Copies of this chain bind each other. A is one copy, B any other.
Amino acid sequence: MNDAVTTRSIVVERTLPHPPEKVWRALTRAELISQWLMPNDFQPEVGHRFTFRTRPMGDWDGVVQCEVLDAKPHERLRYSWVGGSPSARLDSVVTWTLTPTDAGTHLRMEHAGFRPENETAFAAMSPGWFRILERIGDVIEADEA
């Protein structure tokens, strides 16, 4: 990796009217994640490798290869996110940070590591993550646990 490259991140933040425990469930239960993101075989264990799978688009096979890098219950979740077209592979990291507030939980999502050649992915995912954060609220709302 050439450190001289300029990289960009997508950051979206939202305060949810639910305690961190309930937000954490939505971020870490495979069946709940699939409701706001993509089908997956996620498990909240450091070192666990998993994939997100969606329909292939262009020269991308629709698979995101991930590995859990950090999982501190109710506080912080971090996984690598590698995918995209072979000609512009996206080698990135997603970090979720949960902070309790009087009203519930402040949720911050940072997707870091977009290099200049990942411009197409950045342009697509920047509004995409915004909508996903809105959707997480609906999934938590519907989660009876």
Contacts and interface: CB of A to CB of B under 8 A. Distances in A.
Interface string A1-37: 0011111111111110100000000000000000000
B103 A3 contact: yes
Contact of A133 (B6, B110, B126, B133): B6
A130 interface: yes
A124 B23 CA distance: 32
Interface of A is mostly: strand
Given A6-B134, A126-B126, A130-B6, A11 B103 contact: no
Interface string A112-145: 1000000000000010001001100000000000
B8 A4 contact: no
